Amino acid sequence: MAKQVRPRGAYAKSATRRAAIAQAVLDLVNERGHRAVTSLEVARRAEMNESTVLYHFPTREDLLVAAMQHAERHPLSRITDTGVSLYEIAAEHAVMGVAHINYSRLFVTMQAEATDPSHPAHEWFLRHNAGSIAVLARDIRTRQEDGLADPGIDAVRAARQIVAVWDGLQAQWLIDPSFDIGAELTAAMAAIAQSREVGPPAETASLSTHRPEG
């Protein structure tokens, strides 16, 4: 018997529903924090039945991963398209990240839970970290070729260390926002890559003295 092929329209409808659900979760996270996420509230915001939400995302963790996938503020596409160096804009992105404090809390929480290989966020963080390390390593090699970084360092190792520092500074800032995360990341990157030329840190004075809303 020939295998029945699902109509393309059904796939499109499913993708549209998944996107709507993910956006509803993301909106809820940004407004009230990830602890406020429930399948019932997400269904209400997405204007669909709770059973539909649970069909696409069976667990609360699945919903939160969907929100992160939907947000995907990772600058890889921008860098690939324009040649912008992630190394040079890292401080700016660190500042932008903590400005969205509820999303940053979600990221840090899920990152810790994703250390369990069975967690729904594990694969997402594997891809996210690998992408960040790959782009930073490329940028460090470019700086080495231009004489702006120590040619003797291993670019991949340095990139991995920078990502680790970035993640650690974000977690620290969420607990104690009294320091300038952009300036700290810039200094750490210069030390790790033995950079001879470091761009000015982002203007983050307002973020180092108070917590932003939402």
Which pLDDT tens digit goes with each residue over 89-111? Answer: 999 999 999 999 999 999 999 99
Most confidently modeled range among 74-78, 85-89, 183-187: 183-187
pLDDT value, residue 25:
97
* Alpha carbon separation from 43 to 27, 120, 200, 205 (Å, rounded): 12, 20, 45, 39
- Going by pLDDT thresholds of 50, 70 and 90, the confidence category of residue 82 is low
Query: Which residue has better confidence, 8 or 149?
Result: 149
- Cβ-contact 134, 126 below 8 angstroms: no
Single pTM value for the model: 0.81
* pLDDT of 203 over the 90 cut: no
CA atoms within 13 A on the CB side of 116: 8
CB 170 within 8 A of CB 181: yes
For residue 80, give both structure tokens.
């690939």
For residue 26, give the DSSP letter: H
Written as six digits, the tokens of 37 are: 């996420």
Note whether 182 and 71 are within 8 A (CB). Answer: no
| Cα angle 186, 190, 194; round to 5 | 175
Given this model, what pLDDT does residue 177 score?
A: 97
Q: Give mean pLDDT, residues 183-210.
A: 67
Q: Where are the domains of the chain?
A: 8-69, 72-193
What distance in Å separates the CA atoms of residue 105 and residue 97, rounded to the nearest whole number? 10
Residue of 74, 137, 78, 133 whose CA lies nearest to 107: 74
The least confident of 9-13, 67-71, 130-134, 196-200 is: 196-200
160 has a pLDDT exceeding 70: yes
**Residues belonging to the chain:** 214
Q: Look at the domain 8-69 and name its fold.
A: Arc Repressor Mutant, subunit A (1.10.10)
Architecture of domain 72-193: Orthogonal Bundle (1.10)
Average pLDDT over residues 54-75: 89
pLDDT score of 194: 82
State the Cα–Cα distance between residues 208 and 57, nearest whole angstrom.
37
- As a whole number of angstroms, the distance between CA 116 and CA 16 comes to 30
Mean pLDDT for the stretch of residues 49-56: 97
Q: What is the Rg, in whole angstroms, of the alpha carbon atoms belonging to the chain? A: 20
More confident residue, 12 or 46: 46
Q: Coil, strand or helix: which one is 52? A: helix
Is the pLDDT assigned to residue 197 strictly greater than 80? no
7 has pLDDT over 60: no
**CB under 8 A, 24+ apart: contacts of 146-151:** 147/196, 148/195, 148/196, 148/197, 149/193, 149/194, 149/195, 149/196, 150/193, 150/194
pLDDT of residue 50: 97
Which stretch of 11-15, 98-102, 136-140 has the lowest confidence by average pLDDT?
11-15
Dist. CA 156–CA 106, nearest whole Å: 27
Please determine, for residue 86, whether its predicted confidence score (pLDDT) is greater than 90.
no
Q: Picking from 18-32, 60-74, 187-201, which range would have the lowest pLDDT averaged per residue?
A: 187-201
> What pLDDT is stored for residue 6 in this prediction?
53
Cα 98 to chain center, whole Å? Answer: 11
